[in-house]
Amino acid sequence: MNDSYPTVVLTDEVADALAERRPVVALESTIISHGMPYPDNVAMATEVEGIVRAHGAVPATIAVLDGKPRIGLSPEGLELLGSHPDVSKVSVRDLPYVVARGAHGATTVASTMRLASMVGIQVFVTGGLGGVHRGAQQSFDISADLNELARTPVVVVCAGVKSILDIGLTLETLETFGVPVLVEGSDEFPSFYSRSSGFAAPMRVDGPAEAAAVVRAHTVLGLTGGIVLAHPIPVEDEIPADEIGAVITRALADMDALGITGKDATPYLLGRIVELTGGASLTANIALVRANARLGAEVAVSLVS
């Protein structure tokens, strides 16, 4: 373990790569602990680290273990995150609480971005972004992921946002916050399980070098926030929008009936969609994370070359 940063613990592999300015890709852990069932979650996390390595970058899965923010995890750490009953979902505002109590926490997109940025990691791969929930006009439920994108200079590679959210309001909010939203290889913003969403790509790039050029220009201009790089799910893994749309409507109704709100909303919906699709949504989710890992690694490599 490396102690060159006082507040976080890095694995030697990650610390060496950062010191030598080699490409590093951050990975989140809420997707492991609260986004997928065990043991698929641990298998996915392990496989994704391998994909990042195979494409020339060092993976840095981020989480809080025993009250210590970790950048880079051991296989035992991934297993704990995937299976331990007492791993809370940790967004930025939860970080001081889990640290003070010496507890375990799985980091969301927002808190993973913040921790990655503290150590100079520029590229972060996930599945889907949080955003403005449907009915946010009443509930005020807007993910802290958007707030973090407004302020923290990390590129978030994702497959867009699920239509458990209001995709239009999420895109409007990102525009207000000055966050570039790039879509790789498509003129349409993707909706996670589907390549389509009905919303145009705010900005299109083709290939990792074009994405990296935008990141460099963003830095040169001194712009301070993050960048969304949306990567549509591969055609062969896609679930058609109308098929998954009916499932999402049902999951949202079930959530309302149970009175689930706040930080429990997204984990409940993700789990319910897996149940309602008999696991098909999980297969798609894993496929898109794999594809995002490859693209993220390629962008990270492109940024240092």
Q: Catalytic positions, please?
A: 28, 162
Q: List, in order, residues 6 or more apart from 172 with CB less than 8 Å away.
A: 132
Residue 162 found at the interface with ligand PSU (CB under 6 A): yes
Rule CB under 6 A: say whether 35 interacts with ligand PSU. yes
Q: Is 30 in the site for ligand PSU (CB under 6 A)?
A: yes
State the nearest-atom distance from the C-beta of 82 to Mn ion, in Å.
Answer: 23
Report what 90 binds from ligand PSU, Mn ion, none; CB cut-off 5-8 Å by kind: none
Scan residues 216-245 and list those touching ligand PSU (CB under 6 A).
Answer: none
- Strands 68-71, 123-125: pairing kind: unpaired
| Interaction residues for ligand PSU, span 246-265 (CB under 6 A) | 263
Whichever of 120 and 168 has its CB closer to Mn ion, that residue is 168
Determine which helix (DSSP H) or strand (DSSP E) holds 252, and give its type and residue range. Answer: helix 241-258
Binding of residue 31 to ligand PSU (CB under 6 A):
yes
**Could you tell me the two tokens for 297?**
């690694």
Q: What's the rounded Cα separation, in Å, for the pair 109 and 26?
A: 10
Using CB positions, name the residue nearest to Mn ion: 141
Applying CB under 6 A, the site for ligand PSU has a residue count of: 18
Sign of CA dihedral 163, 169, 173, 179: positive
Using CB under 5 A as the criterion, what x/- string covers residues 91-130 for binding Mn ion?
A: ----------------------------------------
Binding to Mn ion (CB under 5 A): which residues in 127-156? 141
The burial class, CB within 10 Å (0-12 / 13-18 / 19+), for 169 is middle
**What string of DSSP letters covers 35-101?**
SS-TTHHHHHHHHHHHHHHHTT-EEEEEEEETTEEEES--HHHHHHHHH-TTEEEE-GGGHHHHHHH
Q: Is position 170 an interface residue for ligand PSU (rule: CB under 6 A)?
A: no
DSSP 2: B
CB 17 within 8 A of CB 23: yes
Chain contacts with ligand PSU (rule: CB under 6 A): 28, 30-31, 35, 108-110, 127-128, 130, 143-145, 162, 192, 263, 266, 270
Chain contacts with Mn ion (rule: CB under 5 A): 141
